[in-house]
A and B are shown apart, each in its own frame.
Chain A
């Protein structure tokens, strides 16, 4: 299959414009093409017609904007062979339908940022692994009272705005998202500085009141990191960051949700979803133990123990990270809140793409978008095949011959 071949994937159920419709998917040169235009203008037929996916679901590839690692790799800790580590995870993610991701670094020592950050470059995905959209830096500019599993000793204030961040992180060239607590001194300046560079800002690990959260949003933030976790609980006189879901600011705020069935109660998921439907972004927040058995692992400088798939800061009952990949989160999410399949799939594709401002290229199957997509079994939602830029990068062994 050459990149410039016109490929027609025959009679699938395609997620397009919020609906699953019986339709063929046409791709060429790495993007989705309008077959009507090909028919009338170019007057050609497909070079290759694939019938192996008939009656399966095709959804946009999943986009994971918060993932700390997996398969033994910890993006925040393993400073040797960083490239190889990222590659390993990027490769393994393909079987989970993830076509793009933001490797996430938790609060770390300055030295770690210097060693690791320059080595995680934005890269186009393919057979070797999912696309790296850029690094998500979660901390150290967070509120100590809401540190979760982040290491106390490295947490700090962004007193001098963007300058403080650059002091700790070094170059921001490889960075896509920064999670920051908006109530910290200098935080609003930092948010303005980051967003003016095109970096997305997520509010999180924070004790912010709603008013402080709204200041953060006005300064340019458009995301909330793992809603409900590591923030003030909802209070009716000051709903805190959770209140941003229904605040009067006219900007769409997106919020990450870990839907591994552990971090957030289904009722809380439903509250979030009914309050702000378009903003819900499924994230895995997975770490090194993803894809591996119970045992001892780490997230950055913290030791973590995994018991029955639940990850705790060693010796405590503080939940940290998840061991669940995004495809599983989609299934759990759909079951636990009883939403439509369309919505669950968009929460892992279209919504993160919109949050990152890349929905003109990714997160949907509109004509002209990147041909990044996942083929799913309609009943089990098992990932049967994954494609990046029009190239098949994963195929389940149950489908032997695709042509």
Chain B
């Protein structure tokens, strides 16, 4: 497990985007050789998407041979509802890049048979050869995708009833009316993400500090589902200074001492050297 501590959320967004650029470029996708990317939604990855769009517009990155799988989607929310993850992905990412629409997979929360939709999604991931890089964010309670506290750490893609806390936290997106917040979601399982060859988890802001500490300093625990990634062969936690507030000084110092090593992970990325990273 690597923990990469960067100055602030903007630097995290830039670093994450350059890491994705680096991994796709290195893989050299082409006809019959697709790069499979897992993607999150929410506020944390927004900056990363904007940088990736910029790379695309500058001609440095093509998604023509990239296949994507999104982590989750609400159940029963119309596809074009501004809070649906379809809407988010289209407006914040897909419409700006050259991805093949048939290769951009988002769970269908309006499918007639939701269980079937979840198995279909797992099968599609398997058919694509598994996810090479899964990018994720976490909630303040340490959940990854909609795998809320108490979720099985070997779970697969499934229908999940949302915790009251999540409904309460999300009602601000639904006119502060908790009855309008969808009560169920489809989500990839912890096990689904664990199967990815590489995982990058973005954590920014002081309100995520406790979750980060639980994820990296304490034992694997299904009450903090993201802690499962301690046992993943290639996981990166990328966080900002604010998110380190609950970590031990020893932990922060240890990972900061490795920052030169971490920097090398994105240096293969061409151009854009004007941006100095810390």
Q: Do B79 and A40 touch (CB < 8 A)? A: yes
Closest to B84 in A: A36
Q: Do B104 and A39 touch (CB < 8 A)? A: yes
Number of interface residues of B (CB under 8 A): 13
Q: Do A39 and B79 touch (CB < 8 A)? A: no
Given known contacts A44-B101, A45-B101, is B106 in contact with A39 (CB within 8 Å)? Answer: no
Contacts of A43 in B (CB 8 A): 100-102
Q: Do B90 and A36 touch (CB < 8 A)? A: yes
| Residue A24 interfacial (CB < 8 Å) | yes
Contacts of B86 in A (CB 8 A): 36, 40
- A-B contact sample (14 more), CB < 8 A, given A36-B80, A40-B86, A45-B100: A24-B95, A34-B80, A36-B95, A37-B79, A39-B90, A39-B94, A39-B95, A40-B79, A40-B104, A40-B106, A42-B101, A43-B101, A43-B102, A45-B101
Q: Do A40 and B90 touch (CB < 8 A)? A: yes
Q: 7 tightest CB-CB pairs across the interface, nearest first?
A: A43-B101, A43-B102, A36-B90, A39-B101, A36-B80, A40-B86, A39-B90
| Residue B63 interfacial (CB < 8 Å) | no
Contacts of A35 in B (CB 8 A): 90, 95
Chain A contact patch, size range: 10 to 19
What are the interface flags for A4-36 relative to B under an 8 Å C-beta threshold, 1 for contact and 0 otherwise? 000000000000000000001000000000111
Interface of B toward A, CB cutoff 8 Å: 79-80, 86-87, 90-91, 94-95, 100-102, 104, 106
Contacts of A34 in B (CB 8 A): 80
Give the tally of cross-chain contacts (CB within 8 A): 32
Determine which residue in B101, B102, B106 has the highest number of CB atoms from chain A within 10 A of its CB, and name it. Answer: B101
* CB<8 Å pairs between A and B, sample of 14: A34-B80, A35-B95, A36-B91, A36-B95, A37-B79, A38-B101, A39-B90, A39-B95, A39-B101, A40-B104, A43-B101, A43-B102, A45-B100, A45-B101
A40 to B95, CA, bound (A): 11
Contacts of A45 in B (CB 8 A): 100-101
A39 to B88, CA, bound (A): 13
Q: Which of B79, B100, B102 contacts A36 (CB 8 A)?
A: B79
Contacts of B100 in A (CB 8 A): 43, 45
Interface majority SS (helix, strand, loop, mixed), chain A: helix
Contacts of B91 in A (CB 8 A): 36
Closest to A26 in B: B95
A363 to B87, CA, bound (A): 25
A35 to B86, CA, bound (A): 12
A39 to B102, CA, bound (A): 8
A43 to B100, CA, bound (A): 8
Closest to A11 in B: B96
Min Cβ gap B135→A in Å is 20
Q: Which of B80, B94, B95, B104 contacts A37 (CB 8 A)?
A: B80
Min Cβ gap A245→B in Å is 32
A37 to B87, CA, bound (A): 10
Determine which residue in A34, A39, A43 has the highest number of CB atoms from chain B within 10 A of its CB, and name it. Answer: A39
A34 to B95, CA, bound (A): 12
Min Cβ gap B42→A in Å is 19
A40 to B94, CA, bound (A): 10
A35 to B90, CA, bound (A): 9
Closest to A35 in B: B95
A44 to B102, CA, bound (A): 8
Contacts of B94 in A (CB 8 A): 39
Contacts of A44 in B (CB 8 A): 101
A38 to B95, CA, bound (A): 11
Min Cβ gap A281→B in Å is 30
Contacts of B79 in A (CB 8 A): 36-37, 40
Min Cβ gap B124→A in Å is 13
Min Cβ gap A46→B in Å is 11
Contacts of B87 in A (CB 8 A): 36
Min Cβ gap B213→A in Å is 38
Contacts of A39 in B (CB 8 A): 90, 94-95, 101, 104
